[in-house]
Structure formats: structure tokens, C-alpha cells
Homo-oligomer: A and B are copies of this chain.
């Protein structure tokens, strides 16, 4: 992570850029999710990528991980305050994506809850 940028948007993309990070954040914005729920909502991402991104988002202070010591394991992910501060960005992305899909005929497949 660099610390000198020539435009605030560069910094934002450094934190929430990449294929899956904003998608994870958008789901967590809707509430606490277990690991398996995230997997079901993002059927295209590999386990490796999902875990990797979650760890990075944790390290960046946007997401927190909560492990219940049960069997079977139960792990929840949620946004931190810093993560919630991204809500306007995520919402704008979500809204634009919906409209763009309408205009271009792309399909949004409803994810299972």
C-alpha cells in the first residue's frame, strides 16, 4: 500500500479496488455474514480469493472477524466503523451497476440468502 497519491481516487482504489473486495464489502454492508453465506452469495470467487480478500480487508481495518468456538465452526464477518464509512461508495456502485445492467442488457442473477 503506497502512501503518496496524486488523486484521492487512487487511494480509494488502492483500498477497495480489485475484483472482489467491493463485492464482499457490499454484502457485509447488508449485515453480518458467516463465511459460508458469503460463499453462496459469491459463487464465482474461489475459496482462496475469498479468504485472501477477507484477510486483507481485516488488515486494512474495514472488516472484523468473529469466531464462535463451536463445532461445527461458526465464523462471522462484519464491517467495522471504517468499513461502514464506505457505504456511500458501495451504494453508488450498486445503484450504477443496476442501471448499467438495465441499459446494456446484462443479467444480475439473484443470489441466495
Q: Which residues of A contact B (CB under 8 A)?
A: 2-13, 15, 17-19, 22-23, 26-27, 41-44, 82, 85-86, 88-101, 103-109, 111
Contact = CB atoms under 8 A, between A and B. Distances in A.
Greatest chain B CB density within 10 A among A8, A27, A104 is at A8
Q: Is the interface of A mostly helix, strand, loop or mixed?
A: helix
A16 B4 CA distance: 22
Given A89-B89, A95-B88, A96-B86, A101 B7 contact: no
Contacts of A99: 85
Contacts of A98: 8
A85 B96 contact: yes
A92 B101 contact: no
B7 A42 contact: yes
A9 B44 contact: no
Greatest chain B CB density within 10 A among A18, A43, A88 is at A88
A89 B96 contact: yes
Given A15-B100, A85-B96, A96-B85, A90 B7 contact: no
